[in-house]
Amino acid sequence: MARTDPQFKLRLPADLKAWVEESAKHNQRSLNAEIVFLLNEARQNARDADEAFSNDIRLNEDDEGRLGINLRTMTSEELITIVLNRMKRQSSDQED
């Protein structure tokens, strides 16, 4: 990171600051570098989770025909219901 990167003040609860400081010390990084590392790691984990969720609920035209639905006109509540039902089926299939 360069000195020209944007800077801002950050307030942390004392226990969180102590935890980040300890983590930085353990990983031999500055406090700033540790915070940047943790934020980048959290961002990547969120992207991975979004991608995994998208892959789990991806429906294609074959699914639309088989399920008798049209994704273009479906409300978010209807899509959520389909996803939850699919997750329940997958969960019960794994238990069997």
* Residue 60 confidence (pLDDT) above 70: no
What is the model's pLDDT at position 54? 64
What is the model's pLDDT at position 44? 86
What is the model's pLDDT at position 20? 93
Q: What is the spatial distance between Cα 35 and Cα 23, in angstroms, rounded to a whole number?
A: 9
Q: What angle do CA 69, 70, 71 make, to 5 degrees?
A: 110
What is the model's pLDDT at position 29? 96
The two structure tokens encoding residue 94: 């794994």
pTM of this structure: 0.53
pLDDT in tens, 7-29: 889 898 999 999 999 999 999 99
